Amino acid sequence: MWQKIRNWARLLKAETLVLWFCCRHPCTPLAAKILATVVVAYALSPIDLIPDFIPVIGYLDDVILVPIGIYFALKLIPQPVIDECRLQARDWLNTQHAKLRNYIAAVVIVVIWLAALWWAWNWFSARG
């Protein structure tokens, strides 16, 4: 069972990298580029929208939202582009061992949390 989970995680990482290359490919449609950029930014962000320390719900975004986003983004991209980007991703994974991170997405997520906290503070202060 653990081997299946590891293989699935490896596949998810590879498909995220494929989407990253698809975002940069000139033949990728604009709608697919936008969705793929959002999915890749979120998947590679070191900070989650729902923190992992929250029981069950914390991991739902990683287990459900990212794969669904990858699925729909890949459906919008022409197959020849996907095939070409899969080759690029495989080559990159074979030569690079650095862990991918997206700090811009992390900043956006922190801003969203701060805005939500500010809104909640103002809402509860007005009622109090």
Alpha-carbon gap, residue 23 to 127, rounded angstroms: 45
| Cβ 13 vs Cβ 66: under 8 Å | no
User: pLDDT grade, residue 98 (50/70/90)?
Assistant: low
To the nearest 10°, the Cα dihedral for 78, 83, 88, 89?
90
The pLDDT tens digits for 17-62 are 899 999 999 999 999 999 998 888 888 776 676 777 777 777 777 7
Which tokens belong to 121? 């503070």
Residue 80 CA to residue 85 CA, distance in Å, equals 9
Residue 75 DSSP label: H
Fill in the amino acid letter for 24: R
Residues 99-108 have a mean pLDDT of: 67
